[in-house]
Amino acid sequence: MTKAELINEVLKTKGLPEMSKKATGEVVDAVFATLSKAIKKERRFVYPGFGTFSVRKRKARKGRNPRTGEEIKIGASKTVTFKPAPQFKKVL
């Protein structure tokens, strides 16, 4: 699903006040910006019935350059993981 498709689906949701596509897009952007800030600050975000986003650390490791086959060092990094809630898993 693309951002435009998400905005259109939100617009179609019954029970919400009618808004323009631009205003809906701004709301979607605000939600994701707030989500990003929460994950960065608190290192986790839980949405009941949907799942949990959390920050994980990756250790430094060795890898290979796919073009040359040469071994390279990949530095330690952080990544965001998602664990779906049991209710969400059942729907899949």
Query: Model confidence over 15-57: pLDDT tens digits?
Result: 888 889 999 999 999 999 999 999 999 999 999 999 999 999 9
Query: Model confidence over 62-80: pLDDT tens digits?
Result: 999 999 999 999 999 999 9
pLDDT of amino acid 16: 81
Q: What 8-state DSSP symbol labels residue 43?
A: S
- The yes or no reply on domain 43-92 and CATH 4.10.520.10 is yes
Crossing angle of the two packed helices 3-12 and 21-42, in degrees rounded to 10: 110
pLDDT of amino acid 54: 95
pTM: 0.74
pLDDT of amino acid 15: 80
Are 85 and 92 in contact by the 8 Å Cβ rule? The answer is no
